Amino acid sequence: MNKKEFFSVLARELQQLPLEERRKTENFYEELISDSMEDGLSEEEAVARLGDPASIAKEILGENIDLFESVRKTSKSNRVLITILLILGSPIWGSLLFTAIISLLCVYLFIWIPIFILAVLSLSCLGGAVVLMIASPFLMFQNFPLGLVQLGSAFMALGIFFLTLLVVKSCWKMTIKGTVGLTKKTMSLFRRKRGNER
């Protein structure tokens, strides 16, 4: 195989690479061939030393998780361009981001409001029951039936307190679970996948 054949196979196999990568590869092997020839090898021998171009290409393509790296490692001018685009596009992505954050807050509110209402109800019943109970003996001296009714309603409020307390207790775990689950899901959206990092 001569040099020309070697490079035509290499170019064909590396078609999917960006032009710059391809050129770099070609320069590298070109230089190796020239150097071996200067060392006294013939062109054929120098090419043969390199091995099969198809398998060389395969190895390079296999390596090309690096291709993504070269995309990520964009040149400085690209970075400036990206920054400008980000700023120019901010009215669009900014409002979208804002909406997303607000919706997320709404979902949190939605999860927490039921238990909050129940807890407030529960506490106010407790407070009411205590006040009614303390006041009822005094009322009984003035007007016994009315005082009795008041004591009864105090017990009723106490009952409602215990009932709602039970409900709050059983809902508590669910609410916490829901919050943690939602937070985890949101975080996972932003976490970078680091699978192919070496």
Partner 1 sequence: MDVQLKKGLLEICVLAVLKKGDSYGYQIVKDISSCIEMTESTLYPILKRLENSECLSTYSLEHNGRLRKYYRITPTGCERIQEFLNEWDSMTKVYEFIEEANRYE
From the list 35-43, 96-104, 172-180, 186-194, the region that binds partner 1 by CB under 8 A is: 35-43
Using the 8-state DSSP alphabet, how is residue 192 labeled?
Answer: P
Binding letters toward partner 1, positions 66-105, x by CB under 8 A: x--xx--x--------------------------------
- Tracing tokens 């979902």 back to the chain, one arrives at 107
74-67-50 Cα angle (round to 5): 130
122 binding partner 1? (CB under 8 A): no
How many amino acids of this chain bind partner 1 (CB under 8 A)? 23
Closest to partner 1 by CB, 18 vs 94, is 18
Half-sphere exposure of 12 (CA within 13 A, CB side): 9
* 3-state SS record for 67-107: HHHHHHCCCHHHHHHHHHHHHHCHHHHHHHHHHHHHHHHHH
28 binding partner 1? (CB under 8 A): yes
Q: Which of the residues 43 through 62 are near partner 1 (CB under 8 A)?
A: 49-51, 55-56, 59-60
Quote the tokens at residue 37.
Answer: 């020839």
Q: Please report, as ranges, the residues that interact with partner 1 according to CB under 8 A.
A: 25, 27-29, 31-32, 34-36, 38-39, 49-51, 55-56, 59-60, 63, 66, 69-70, 73
